[in-house]
Structure 1
Amino acid sequence: MAALGTLLLLGLLLTAPPALGQRPGRRRRPPPPQSPLEAVGAQEGLSLPQLAGRWVLVGMASRCGYLAEHSHRLEATAVMVTVPDGQSLAISTFRKLDGTCWEIRQRYRPAGSLGRFVLKGRGYGSKVDVVVGETDPGTYAILYYQKGRSITVKLYGRSSRVSDAVVDKFEQSVRAVGLSEDVTYYFPTYGFCDSADEFHILDETQP
């Protein structure tokens, strides 16, 4: 179970008018602060089928304490994307844990507008909002993930090595949501696995 918990952790957002009859002089509650993802625009003209295929996780920015403590143990991570219904993304993430390859299955379901999704699963406790922020589908994709008030930015590439210009875009995106290079990590470029046996598949597609 500890292994499953580790995988779940890594496989890692108008104020109404006052009511009639409100007593004069009574202060209204201030509106809640803007969700970080509300300021993030999704890629214009996004074509979901173009996202299909194999990606690798190049970099990630997050304030996750577990990630900071275990950053020296990061494993090469590959992702297979399909678009089963034209609206959602089916994600299979492959990574090693203690030398064994695991597959984590997830479904990013549409959330109102193109490029915005919601991820739900038994291991998350609450939903995770996802935005495809910027992508050249043949080269790279920058995705944002938010659970509660915590935000993570991930850089995916069609190969494990991307250009300096793409890395610059990623780091600019990281700074734009209040993260920094101190919580930015880059993943190994070797040691990938692309399959797992039936005993090492974690299916998070069902709430």
Structure 2
Amino acid sequence: MAGVWRCMLPVVVLMCVCLWASTEAKSRPRPQIRPPKKPKVDPIDLTPPAQNIDTQQMTGTWYLLITASKCSYLMTHGTKVEPTVMTLTHSPDQTLSVSTKTRRNHQCWEILQVYNLTPTPGKLKLKGARTELDTEIVIGEIVYNSYVIIYYQKRGKLTIKLYGRSVDNLSEPMLTKFEQLAEKQGLGLAYLFPFPTYSHCGAVDQNHVINCVPTC
């Protein structure tokens, strides 16, 4: 009889191990297959440029009327912005030379930049010190003798600006349209900053002519 038990014991142990392994396998959750990550789409990539952009007609003077942005500087100093005027000049090398005049510390500054044209009409690029510091620019909407809406994106952060040929161009329909476009980009009323339309800079203190890339 003892011999029989010695023969049966390994069988019983083996059955117990098999049952335990089967129960353990059933109790373990099946690994979940993660859905593939959606490719990152920058906000500016969803903004089609205006059709048939003619950069020659864009040249001349533009007054900054209002900006939509989550820029930290504007969030802190948005009530103290200064009148700003931008002058565009078409260069022979197929770039746009940009002169922006504004006031800092009660003195007139001039910011000089170059917007590079891209193969896509209406899309420009302002090159930074490194590729990741480039500013992507889209001409979203324009009426050459009236207004232009420009989108700027740097490091994934979007800023939208409305310029007018005249300081008197900010009509109610135009403002409503700008607000709607900004809202589509998550820039509601809290992120809208109107700019003064008076006391723009004329002559510039040459000691304050600089080259830089705007962040707002």
Residue 103 of structure 1 contacts residue 195 of structure 1 at CA under 8 Å; is this kept in 2? no
> Aligned equivalents of 1:185 and 1:102: distance in 2?
20
- 1:192 maps to 200
Does residue 168 of the first structure (1) align with residue 176 of the second (2)? yes
> Aligned equivalents of 2:55 and 2:63: distance in 1?
17
- Equivalent residues in 2 for 1:57-206 (5 A)? 57-85=64-92, 87-122=94-129, 126-162=133-169, 163-204=171-212
> Aligned equivalents of 2:73 and 2:131: distance in 1?
15
- SS in structure 2 at match of 1:70: helix
Deviation (angstroms), 1:123: 10
Identity %: 33
Residue 49 of structure 1 contacts residue 86 of structure 1 at CA under 8 Å; is this kept in 2? no
> Aligned equivalents of 1:38 and 1:26: distance in 2?
30
- 1:22 maps to none
> Aligned equivalents of 2:110 and 2:150: distance in 1?
20
Residue 125 of structure 2 contacts residue 137 of structure 2 at CA under 8 Å; is this kept in 1? yes
Deviating beyond 6 angstroms after TM superposition, the runs of 4 or more aligned structure 1 residues are: 25-28
> Aligned equivalents of 2:102 and 2:130: distance in 1?
17
Deviation (angstroms), 1:138: 0.3
Q: Closer, same or farther in 2 for the Cα pair 1:35/1:123, shift >3 Å?
A: closer
- 1:42 maps to 49
> Aligned equivalents of 1:136 and 1:42: distance in 2?
13
Deviation (angstroms), 1:29: 5.5
> Aligned equivalents of 1:123 and 1:193: distance in 2?
31
CA deviation digits over 1:136-171, x for unaligned, max 9?
010000000001221000000011122212112211
AA matched with 2:95: S
> Aligned equivalents of 1:55 and 1:73: distance in 2?
20
Residue 107 of structure 2 contacts residue 205 of structure 2 at CA under 8 Å; is this kept in 1? no
Residue 146 of structure 2 contacts residue 164 of structure 2 at CA under 8 Å; is this kept in 1? yes
CA deviation digits over 1:99-136, x for unaligned, max 9?
10000001110123011011124599710100000000
Q: Closer, same or farther in 2 for the Cα pair 1:176/1:87, shift >3 Å?
A: farther
Deviation (angstroms), 1:67: 0.7
Unmatched 5+ stretches in structure 2: 1-31
TM (norm. structure 1) is 0.80
AA matched with 1:183: Y
Q: Closer, same or farther in 2 for the Cα pair 1:123/1:183, shift >3 Å?
A: farther
> Aligned equivalents of 1:200 and 1:152: distance in 2?
25
AA matched with 1:74: V
Residue 60 of structure 1 contacts residue 154 of structure 1 at CA under 8 Å; is this kept in 2? yes
Does residue 32 of the first structure (1) align with residue 39 of the second (2)? yes
CA deviation digits over 1:30-86, x for unaligned, max 9?
243211111111110111111111111000000112211111211000111111137
